[in-house]
Structure 1
Amino acid sequence: LQTCTSEPNRRAIAQQERRERKRVGNTVNQKAVSQQERRRRERIENTIDRRSIAQQSRRELERVKRAHTIPDNEIFAQFQLQNIRHDLGHMDTACIHCGALHWLDERIVNSSKTNPKFGSCCRHGKVILPLLHDPPLLLRQLFESQDKQCKEFRANICQYNAAHAFTSLGVNIDQTILNGRSPYSFRIHSELRHHSGSLLPESSLNANYAQLYIYDPDIAHQIRMGRNKNLHTQTMWELQEILREHHAFYPIYQQAHEILSQVCEEGVSETDLAVHLHFNAATDRRRYNLPTSNEIAVILPGDGSEPKAMHDIVIRLRGGPLEHIHKAHPAYLPLHYVLFFSHRELGWHAELHHTLIDEYGQYIED
């Protein structure tokens, strides 16, 4: 009887164990299925998010394309580099031929970092610029002496130069960063430009730049000091006299004014008068050549509407738009940086000859 009773018990226990194992297996399977389902849903959501982001990027790209007529490669560069800082390092690598300073990455392709070569300054030594003449003695003292007046001049040399420049500086200033509380930043769009205006202002109170060289020296000095009260009066007067005596373009502007005034006396309206300063030593010598500057400029009278050479400077007697001076013009630097070009020197221009080396190691002109 005991044997018969224990047999059903064992069967019941075995069935119970099978049901328990089955229940545990079902639970494990359900968890695995749930994990797989979650992973599948996450993949679907990530795919949807990536597609949505890609669609938004494409729409933004199309919007930029419609708003700006710039090449596709520049558009992609804007998206890829908009938050990346591009640092060229210091501009302290000198050309072995002329000493001009460059960024190292400006070197030509086939030169190394240890022996960099540059082609944008002197064409590998093919162009040799003559050194500037020593400045007049009084100006040289201002550059070199250690007394109080000379130190003050060097500390404010940019302001002194601007006060005596023939041309103004034209820039498109970016005003977006000037309204904050951060340190002052001077940021511009596009390039720096040098402008030349008419010889006579609308009012004597508004005379500036080249116009002041037409005025009586005492009046011109008073106007300059009125706008630069922090500068030394004696230094301002000395610089004015140095430039009137030595600068190449003072007699040119003086004679341009005399020619225009003479034509104006013949009944021509002031606003219809202009001259072209044509810088070419081979130009016909019979046309108002300056007796002391005929290697620099030929003055051609007119009304400003005549065809002009690409680099001619048009000077009007009164009124008219500002004249943009091309950066390749030989007067581009001397008219603005007057303290460095105090003698009859010209700046860089496209007619400079290459300098070649012959078989004996001597320089010859191309």
Structure 2
Amino acid sequence: MPKRKHASIPSSSSTSLDGFRYSSRRLCLITVSPMTAFYDCGDCIYICDFCGALFWFAERNLAQSTVAHPQYTRCCMSSSVVLPYVLIPPPEIRALYTNVSFMADIRAYNSMFSLTSFGATVDKEVNKGRGPYVFKLSGHIFHTIGSIYPDNDDAPRFLQLYIHDTENEIHNKINAFTTPEKKTLDPSIKQLLIQCLTVHNEYVWTFKTTKKIAEDMGLDTYLVRLYNSVPDRCYVPPALGTLGGIIIVDQNAGATYVIILQSKSGRPHRVSKLHPNYMHLQYPILFPYGEEGWSPRLKLRNTTGSSPKNLTVNMYYTYQIHARHHIHSHILDSGRLFQQYLVDSYTCIEEGRLDYILHHQEELHTNYISGLYDALSERR
């Protein structure tokens, strides 16, 4: 009787059938999962009827929208928030945004020319390896400002660099800058920024003028007060002399002003987040004119005739960082500096919420107890 022949599969071969793979050495089942479906959210082409902010269709207000006419309220709350658009920077600074070297080190250039110190711990480990740049902080964020002149033999820093030894201003700024990006900064860009900020930035002009007036008057000890309320500064660049820079000798004067600078003092002090130039002193590249930012006196547009409500920090920055149709904002094109500004803005929003809770404890407790009483009443 002839032997029956059995089909054999070579040890090195394998076959595949319906997503399963068979091997003579080892039997294994490999499930081939279907590819994840790609979700297309469309283009960001939908425009707010009131302020021109750009949105995706999915961001519409469902309660007020139709398919043919979507409505958006996250930008200006249906025209309740009325603020000026970001001022176009001088042509010299605007041209730098096409410079690859400048954009790569934009945070370093801003730090070199800022008038206040950025107090926070930057996490640099997150950017090791591949992947897009991430700006990550740990700890509390605050801005500090020092005296007009450095104490004793200390090297000048921040706003002192605009006043002390101005003949060697570029050299002093380079020496005061100690980050690894120091070697890659372009001297011609530094010179351009010094000239541009000296001409256009009202705070730089104020500090330089203060020094000259003090020397002419022979003052050794004095104060400089920065106004926290200057009319019409939200809508146009501030005119020369409108920010104050008042020189006084009485150390107790000006207690109602938010920022008071001494000619010489022991250590820097924190700038209040309530001052309208809290951000603008820190980001001269983004705000080269020194125009006004958020302040507690800003109000929502009144359409009912009742007393206007306050414009919150969240409303202000939400309105400011929106891209708009036919309205260019260089802040959105600022790359890594924009990331830092966003993180800084978010901390201001959160601190504003915490301040509200702190100063409205009685009202919040009353609402909580009232709600608890209503819930217990319903159970009965």
TM bucket by the smaller chain?
0.5 to 0.7
Q: 1:220 aligns with which of 151, 166, 169?
A: 169
Q: 2:252 aligns with which of 305, 316, 320?
A: 305
- Note the alpha carbon deviations across 1:88-126, whole angstroms, 9 max, x for none: xxxx9x995668899xxxx99x999x97744xx755532
Which residue of 2 is the match for residue 87 of structure 1?
none
Which residue of 2 is the match for residue 154 of structure 1?
103
Taking the aligned partners of 2:54 and 2:159, their CA distance within structure 1 comes to: 31
Q: Does 1:188 align with 2:127?
A: no
Q: One-letter code of the match for 2:168?
A: I
How far apart are 1:301 and its partner, in Å?
1.6
Which residue of 2 is the match for residue 241 of structure 1?
195
Which residue of 2 is the match for residue 331 of structure 1?
277
Change (3 A) 1:229 1:305: farther
Q: Does 1:350 align with 2:350?
A: no
For 1:250-265, what aligned pairs fall within 5 Å after superposition? 250-261=204-215, 265=218
CA contact (8 A) 1:277 1:297 kept: yes
SS in 2 for 1:326: coil
CA contact (8 A) 2:226 2:243 kept: no
How far apart are 1:295 and its partner, in Å?
3.4
CA contact (8 A) 1:197 1:323 kept: yes
CA contact (8 A) 1:281 1:297 kept: no
Change (3 A) 1:126 1:318: same
Q: One-letter code of the match for 2:289?
A: H
Q: One-letter code of the match for 1:188?
A: S
CA contact (8 A) 1:276 1:308 kept: no
Taking the aligned partners of 2:167 and 2:190, their CA distance within structure 1 comes to: 11
How far apart are 1:257 and its partner, in Å?
2.8
- Note the alpha carbon deviations across 1:196-227, whole angstroms, 9 max, x for none: 10111125662111001103444110122333
Taking the aligned partners of 1:202 and 1:95, their CA distance within structure 2 comes to: 54
Which residue of 2 is the match for residue 137 of structure 1?
91
Taking the aligned partners of 2:159 and 2:187, their CA distance within structure 1 comes to: 20
Q: TM-score, normalised by structure 1?
A: 0.53
How far apart are 1:253 and its partner, in Å?
1.2
Q: Does 1:319 align with 2:265?
A: yes
- Note the alpha carbon deviations across 1:148-202, whole angstroms, 9 max, x for none: xx1100111110010000111123x499x98xx9999844233x21111011112
Aligned-CA RMSD value: 4.3
Which residue of 1 is the match for residue 323 of structure 2?
none
How far apart are 1:327 and its partner, in Å?
1.8
Taking the aligned partners of 1:95 and 1:189, their CA distance within structure 2 comes to: 38
Q: Does 1:200 align with 2:146?
A: no
Taking the aligned partners of 1:260 and 1:242, their CA distance within structure 2 comes to: 24
Q: Which runs of 5+ in 1 are unaligned?
A: 1-91, 145-149, 283-290, 359-365
Which residue of 2 is the match for residue 128 of structure 1?
82
Which residue of 2 is the match for residue 168 of structure 1?
117
Q: One-letter code of the match for 2:198?
A: R
Taking the aligned partners of 1:204 and 1:137, their CA distance within structure 2 comes to: 38
Q: One-letter code of the match for 2:119?
A: G
Which residue of 2 is the match for residue 86 of structure 1?
none
Change (3 A) 1:219 1:336: same
Which residue of 1 is the match for residue 21 of structure 2?
none
CA contact (8 A) 1:167 1:335 kept: yes
How far apart are 1:332 and its partner, in Å?
1.2
Q: Which has the higher contact order (CA 8 A, sep 6+)?
A: 2
CA contact (8 A) 1:202 1:319 kept: yes
Q: Larger radius of gyration, structure 1 or 2?
A: 1
How far apart are 1:127 and its partner, in Å?
2.5
CA contact (8 A) 1:334 1:347 kept: yes
Q: One-letter code of the match for 1:299?
A: I
- Note the alpha carbon deviations across 1:57-85, whole angstroms, 9 max, x for none: xxxxxxxxxxxxxxxxxxxxxxxxxxxxx
SS in 2 for 1:279: coil
Q: Which runs of 5+ in 2 are unaligned?
A: 1-43, 232-237, 305-310, 312-380
Taking the aligned partners of 1:219 and 1:127, their CA distance within structure 2 comes to: 45
Q: One-letter code of the match for 1:245?
A: V
